Amino acid sequence: DGGITQSPKYLFRKEGQNVTLSCEQNLNHDAMYWYRQDPGQGLRLIYYSQIVNDFQKGDIAEGYSVSREKKESFPLTVTSAQKNPTAFYLCASTAAAMTGELFFGEGSRLTVL
């Protein structure tokens, strides 16, 4: 079945540690996105990539980094510079940047201890 796989589903991190969230898609989609969701605030865009080896900052990129070395993969690293990293992280993809619906993964919940 085609879809987007995020892992891990739950992740605990100590302050000062970097963590990497995985996002893989087998939909052959060009564009991929990372969103952060906090209670009552909806989704906020962290980074997006329209094509392999290219990505752009979203609205809240500080403290995060990404790479897009393969079409299928768009990992997100939450660095120690992110002041409030506890959140629900959602990865999404679309066939062509912003011409239609986004397909979402099931999310990764990161908790900083």
Contact call for residues 42 and 59 (beta carbons, < 8 A): no
End-to-end CA distance of the chain: 36
Beta bridge partners of 12: 111
CA Rg value for the chain = 13
Q: Which is nearer to another protein, 15 or 54 (CB)?
A: 54
In terms of residues, how long is the chain? 113
Q: Which is nearer to another protein, 46 or 78 (CB)?
A: 46
Q: Which is nearer to another protein, 60 or 73 (CB)?
A: 60
Q: Name the site residues for another protein (rule: CB under 8 A).
A: 4, 6, 31, 33, 35, 40-45, 48, 50, 58-59, 88, 90, 92, 97-98, 100-107, 109
CB of 59 to another protein, least distance (A): 6
